[in-house]
Structure 1
Amino acid sequence: MNEDKIIQWAQRLLGVAQCGLTYNHDNPYETERYHHIQALAAEMMAAVSDVSPERLLNLFTDESRNGYATPKVDVRGVVFKDERILLVKEHVTQRWTLPGGWVDVGDTPSLAVEREVFEESGYEVKARKLLIVADRNRHYPPSTFHIYKLFFLCELLGGSSVVSHETDEIGFFAEDSLPPLDEGRTSYAHLARCFEHYRQPQLAADFD
């Protein structure tokens, strides 16, 4: 059976369970059913990953405290210098990606991506244009949660290359000399689209 499909079904079950736990306050039997659905989703994901059902269930239980289930938002900064694109080498995976991360509560997407670029690379940037809104399920390997990825073209304002606790190296790369990518965070296909948007600024944002 297709592992990606199993992950997507588990994500949907999680959404049902989280919404049920958010809005059901009076019926303990319904609450118990929604907890069972959470546990089932954890078992499904564990069957196609190397994470235990118990650890996944703890993640899902923490997430269910956040209310109505919605996709998480990941932002990526697309920064060019002399027609080369900024990439950072992740400390954990030892592979390269566009700088970025989660949008915090209270952030605008543009402020989030500007902060993430600075924290991961040392460069000060200004978000200028939304290039891509991607449903992670359609373009990347399976993930525990449903995620939307937002890619912003950013203007380089200043700063200098500075590694962080998350990054080991920082560099600018030409399209024909890209390093090994962390394809769970940034795909070669999306980098190719970023270069196309850079060369053709009149292009509208990609979505889905």
Structure 2
Amino acid sequence: MIVDPSVRVAQLADELRAIAATSLYFSQDPHDRARFEQIRVVAAELQSVVDRRDASEIRAIFDDDLTPRTPLAGADAVIFDAEGRLLITDRADGRGWCVPGGLVEVGESPSEAAVREAYEEVGLTVRAVELLAVYDNRKVLPPGRVHVFHHVHRCEVVSGEPAPTHEVRDFGWFRESEIDKLTFFSIHATLVRDAFRGSKQTLFH
């Protein structure tokens, strides 16, 4: 994969920040802590190379968040109808088609997040019945600036009919033969094709 150099620089800065934050969280030795603080300074300087903000502003942001850095958790809902068609939505921001989904919020599990997203995005009450796949977005797509693990759940409709919302401007029930005409958002081209293949085992990418 060809990676934009500016994206790679931002990735390296984020990785250095993560190393420093995690080490500072656990370390008690003053000499080690001084080294980890310097790593955080270097991370801010590196980020400033590809950022509109200067290093001091970025450093202030880093200083305000000293928790260990970890990838984000995402959750997606794969919903088929009785005819074997998959519910796919067109994002209101115009960034492409995808199944209902989003980031997991504090206090909920990935399956709970998938259920919530289905309701928020298309008004369906669903239940999560199976974990279909876990995707590392950096393995499926050219590496970007955000690292996300997507937890994909097969969900069954409990009640409701899908409808557009402020997050979704359109939707449809699609057969596998119809998906090539869609422009997909993020990892969803891979996610949707895998969903139609119906692997008997949870997929890990």
2:88, 2:99 within 8 Å by CA — same for their partners in 1? yes
1:38 counterpart letter in structure 2? A
Render the CA deviation track for 1:1-60: whole Å, top value 9, x for unaligned.
84365554344223213213434577574464143133144246x3xxxx6355993896
Distance (Å, rounded) in 2 between the aligned partners of 1:59 and 1:91: 33
**Structure 1 residue aligned with 2:126:** 125
Render the CA deviation track for 1:116-141: whole Å, top value 9, x for unaligned.
01100111111011111111100024
1:133, 1:206 within 8 Å by CA — same for their partners in 2? yes
Distance 1:105 1:180, change over 3 A: same
Q: Kindly, what percent of the aligned residue pairs are identical?
A: 25
Distance 1:63 1:96, change over 3 A: farther
Q: How far off its partner does 1:182 sit?
A: 3.4
1:7, 1:142 within 8 Å by CA — same for their partners in 2? no
| Counterpart mapping for 1:55-94 below 5 A | 57=58, 61=62, 64-65=65-66, 67-81=67-81, 82-94=83-95
1:15 to 15, 18, 32: 18
**Structure 1 residue aligned with 2:201:** 204
Distance (Å, rounded) in 2 between the aligned partners of 1:59 and 1:87: 41
- How many residues are matched? 197
Distance (Å, rounded) in 2 between the aligned partners of 1:58 and 1:168: 39
Structure 1 unmatched ranges of 5 or more:
none
Moved more, 21-30 or 140-149: 21-30
Distance (Å, rounded) in 2 between the aligned partners of 1:151 and 1:59: 36
Q: TM-score, normalised by structure 2?
A: 0.81
**Structure 1 residue aligned with 2:186:** 184
2:36 pairs with 1:36:
no
Q: How far off its partner does 1:143 sit?
A: 2.6
**Structure 2 residue aligned with 1:114:** 115
Moved more, 34-43 or 68-77: 34-43
1:180 counterpart letter in structure 2? L
Distance (Å, rounded) in 2 between the aligned partners of 1:192 and 1:17: 39
Q: How far off its partner does 1:192 sit?
A: 1.0
1:87 counterpart letter in structure 2? I
Structure having the higher Rg: 2
**Structure 2 residue aligned with 1:170:** 171
Distance (Å, rounded) in 2 between the aligned partners of 1:61 and 1:15: 10
Q: TM-score, normalised by structure 1?
A: 0.80
Moved more, 18-27 or 52-61: 52-61
| Counterpart mapping for 1:42-57 below 5 A | 42-43=47-48, 46=50, 52-54=52-54, 57=58
Distance (Å, rounded) in 1 between the aligned partners of 2:157 and 2:64: 35
Distance 1:40 1:170, change over 3 A: same
Structure 2 unmatched ranges of 5 or more:
none
